[in-house]
Structure 1
Amino acid sequence: MNIINWDWDPTIFWITDSFPLKYYGVFFICGLLLGYIIVRRMYINEKKTIKELDNLLIYIILGTILGARLGHCFFYEPDYFFNHPIEILLPIKKVAGSYKFVGFAGLASHGGTIGIFIAVYIYCRRYKTDLLWILDKITFGVPIAAAFIRFGNFMNSEIYGKPTSGSWGVVFQREDLIPRHPTQIYEALVYLFIFGILLVVHKSKIVQNTNGILFGCFLILLFTARFFIEFFKENQVDFENSLPLNMGQFLSIPFIFLGIIIMVWQLNIRNIKLKYARLKNCW
């Protein structure tokens, strides 16, 4: 068996005695920047001003971080954070009677997704922009950013999978000596694959002049993949052990149905427009 023994230090170096620079943070930032570059290219191709995208980026960053943090606190550890509310939005933790900087040790991707929705909705209301058009565009940046975040999770030896007897197993030595599914890598590679699918769909005639189809496709693909990969993951919190599905799976289901609803609705609108155009030409 070619088991990989993983014992990489998640800290690159210490900026100060209490402020570490970690691989997770670097991957997080790089993923956001790369996603921005991809969406920026689309704005340029469609003759949109970059200033509009720069404003949107600020909303998305705030929505992602706040949503992911609040999602973790309320979905996974509500009891703890209701008793320690100061730790929800401050990167600190009480250790031995005093607070220390630890970074945000807990970000939930489903919460981040909800945060992005809310941030984009607020942006569109303020700048009078079509919501589905914006969501179609950022759809290309999200899977890239998500893939980089999962690479960061791998560097942190966190969100790993259940034990496996396969030769692809990874021993996360900072946690235990059991070969496990590297579910962080599974997710990252699937997200990159989804990005490729979205590019193909984007070039097809089915999405021309119809906003929302790409976004619906994205929701279905990403959260269906997330739902099935969760079967290989260890539960993040103890209460999930008594549930038929884990929290990640329960939270993925509404997004899958939302994607189906958006796609069906927009495809029907597209078909109605096409029929109307044909009738108009006949007249």
Structure 2
Amino acid sequence: MPQNPATEVLRYTAFSADPRGGNPAGVVLDASGLDAAAMLAVAAELGYSESAFLTGRYEPDGAAPATGRGYAIRYFSPKAEVPFCGHATVATALALAERDGPGELVFSTSAGPVPVTVVREGGELRATLTSVEPHVARIAPDDLAEALAALDWPAADLDPALPPRIAYAGARHLVLAAATRERLADLSYDFARLEALMHRLDLTTVQLVWRAAPDVFHVRDPFPVGGVVEDPATGAAAAAFGAYLRTEGLAPDSAVLTLHQGEDMGRPGTLTVELRAGDPRVRVSGTGTRIDA
């Protein structure tokens, strides 16, 4: 692997306690000696949707955790750097908790500071990240038509109760809701066409969802801009989706939502999304575990 021999690359899965589930991520706890090209090379060699790199300590003004555990972090897909990645954040927090113990962390991302709390529940570590302040915007009709054409989804297959939107909670995601579970399960899209649209709209993933119950959703995330067909469990998109539901009046100001992702890929994972009244930020939590190399 193209890296400094002293650089240790850990492998963790996030949003599942089973290494065969959830979303795998590379984690480098000391990337201070790596430049962007070296980090990209590590991420490309691993081939996971994203990998995380701690580049140094971080001391936020007036907001340092009691333990002083603040870190600057960068995220790379096999093709490019991304501004924020939820599952790699969870994976990194779990790796630090295994090394240093559970507690409070703050990660300095290019999108802003992201606090993470790690606790031990029933013998398992569980991490909860708090997003940067989110926002939601409409998508132009022509861009929506292009997205549906790239996915080969007829407009009639959309759920009219969940309107298409672009949601942000550290990265931008196009939210499209399928009317049926069968529509969500049948994913075969034009990789190059969707990638081109996503670059033009500065999207990180497309968040495809199906509502199984008012607070339970099944989701999938095409990720061609990252060089992979689909992301197995997407914390950044989950945060953006929580903000979307609240903004559109589809969830109460205080709510706990369950997102199931990865089932159609054979890597099932569960993401818990929490909305709190009076706080625009979104909390996303899940378990994880180390993957043996």
Question: TM-score w.r.t. structure 1 length?
Answer: 0.27
Larger Rg: 1
Quick check: which one's helix share is greater? 1
